[in-house]
Structure 1
Amino acid sequence: MTLPIAIVVAVLALAAGVLATLHTWRRTTFDNPLFYAVAVVELALLAVLVGGSVALARTDRDVDGVLFVSYLVTVVVIPPAAVVWGIAEKSRWGTGVVAVAMVTVAALVFRIHGIWEGTVV
């Protein structure tokens, strides 16, 4: 994963996290705009999963494939889980879970980039 892709995906995740934080602060429940924001992040993560898997198959770098793919799969699972939890939890903390999940996604994207570059083991 290249640094520009990691930055774009992290910015998308943080933007969705800011929207979720605003929902939490206003004490509003999960709604369509927040769902769409998380859906955009999920689409970007699916593209990263496919692109990362293809890049791993084609590279001759010394990348720990199991670790790399496990991070790719994990980061794709987080947004849907947060959405389900956010919709199920009718208090303000349903959207708080989504905010925390989006910050986690942003951090994991940079971790994935570090694994790809070989700077994080």
Structure 2
Amino acid sequence: MIMWFTIVQIAIAVGGGLFSVIAGLAGRRPSDFTVGAVALVELLLIVQIVIAIVAPFAGNEPTGSLLEFWVYLVSAALIPPASVFWALLERSRWSTVIMGVGALSVAVMLWRMQSIWTLQIA
């Protein structure tokens, strides 16, 4: 993983998550803005998957468990589409909050993935 890209991902996930949670608690239903924020988080996760595939070939090998890293990454990549699917089915203020919580969950998982990749010794 690349540290600066991880920080950018976390910042966007936290920003989109807080935006969606605040919008939902304010009574807003899912909109293009809230769904777009979560879609941006997913797009960056797809880029992260590509980076995770290419990085070992470029000499950036993980120091932690590769299986644990991939389980986190695949799980994190499934959260945004699931939350958007839920939001499009329910269309209430709480589904907007759930999209925000999903984005915030991805931010936490990204930090854990970074620590698995760089800080642990397998």
> Same fold by TM-score, threshold 0.5 exceeded?
yes
| Pairwise CA RMSD | 1.9
User: Unaligned regions of 5+ residues in structure 2, if any?
Assistant: none
The equivalent of 2:82 in structure 1 is 81
Query: Where does 1:24-39 land on structure 2 (aligned, <5 Å)?
Result: 24-39=24-39
Structure 1 runs (4+) deviating above 4 angstroms are 57-61
Contact 1:63–1:115 (Cα < 8 Å) also in 2: yes
1:119 partner SS = coil
Q: CA deviation at 1:44?
A: 0.6
Contact 1:111–1:120 (Cα < 8 Å) also in 2: no
Q: TM-score, normalised by structure 1?
A: 0.88
User: Unaligned regions of 5+ residues in structure 1, if any?
Assistant: none
Relative distance call for 1:26 and 1:72 in structure 2 (3 A) is same
The equivalent of 1:11 in structure 2 is 11
Provide Cα deviations, 1:49-106, integer angstroms capped at 9, x if missing partner: 1101222455455432211111111111110001011222232111111111111000
**What's the % identity of the aligned pairs?**
30
1:28 partner SS = coil
Q: TM-score, normalised by structure 2?
A: 0.88
